[in-house]
Amino acid sequence: MSAKNSPVMMDVIFKIQARIEQTQIRGAAQDFSTDTKLAWLVGRVGNIAQTTRRKDAVLDVTCCAFTWLESLHLSDMDILQRVADERARQRELFTAGKHNFRVDSPVVDWTRKLRVLTEEVGEVAQAIDQLETSPRSKILKRYFLTELIQVAAVGVAWLESMEGK
Tens digits of residue pLDDT in 4-42: 668 899 899 999 998 998 887 777 777 889 999 999 999
pLDDT band at residue 152 using 50, 70 and 90 as cut-offs: very high
Residues 79-135 have pLDDT tens digits of 999 999 999 999 999 999 898 899 999 999 999 999 999 999 999 999 999 999 999
Q: What's the chain's Rg over C-alpha atoms? A: 15
pLDDT of residue 99: 87
pLDDT of residue 7: 86
Euclidean distance between CA atoms 8 and 41, whole angstroms: 24
Q: Is-above-0.85 flag for pTM?
A: yes
Euclidean distance between CA atoms 64 and 20, whole angstroms: 9
Euclidean distance between CA atoms 24 and 21, whole angstroms: 8
Euclidean distance between CA atoms 90 and 83, whole angstroms: 10
